[in-house]
Amino acid sequence: MNRFVSTYTMRLDAKGRISIPASYRAVLSRDGFEGLYCHPAIDRPALDAGGHALLAEIEALIERYPPYSDEREEFSAALYGQSETLKLDSEGRIILTETLKTHALIADAVTCVGLGHKFQIWEPERFRAHLAEATGKVRALKKSLGSKGKEPPGASG
């Protein structure tokens, strides 16, 4: 599997480390990256994390804008400028910096959530609330689509 899937909740240890799930470490290894790129999510109190696939997504987003444009500079500052490269120790643990923990409001536990090409790190209660809201939105979207034959908005070709 080359995607981050599933959800894991764990406590920070006495030294403030979290264990990256083994299945996530396997994806990072296949991706050819021995660490972890991590940055504050732009639109929620969570952290985006991953390997080269996450970095490629950031690069593709930034390359949509002309060199030296305000948009390119802003995305670069928000994503590259706040990214951190975290090293995995021999047991697959990382230490989240205070900056990252503050953004995600993390104190003593985290929930890691697979999102395919990346995963997010959340404070567990905030993730539960986010998941409940997201699930409600998906159910409403499914209901608005009606029968199986309808395409999602904007999917016509």
pLDDT tens, residue by residue, 71-108: 999 999 999 999 999 999 999 999 999 999 999 999 99
Using the structure block, give the residue that is written with the tokens 């989240």: 96
In the chain the domains, ranked by start, together with CATH numbers, are 7-145 (3.40.1550.20)
Give the global pTM: 0.88
Sole residue written with tokens 């991706």? 31
Half-sphere exposure of 139 (CA within 13 A, CB side): 6
Residue 80 three-state SS: coil
CA angle, 51 as apex, 46 and 20 as ends, to 5°?
60
Asked whether the predicted pLDDT for residue 136 surpasses 60, the reply is yes
Calculate the CA dihedral of residues 40, 45, 50, 54 and round it to 10 degrees: -70
pLDDT at 156: 58
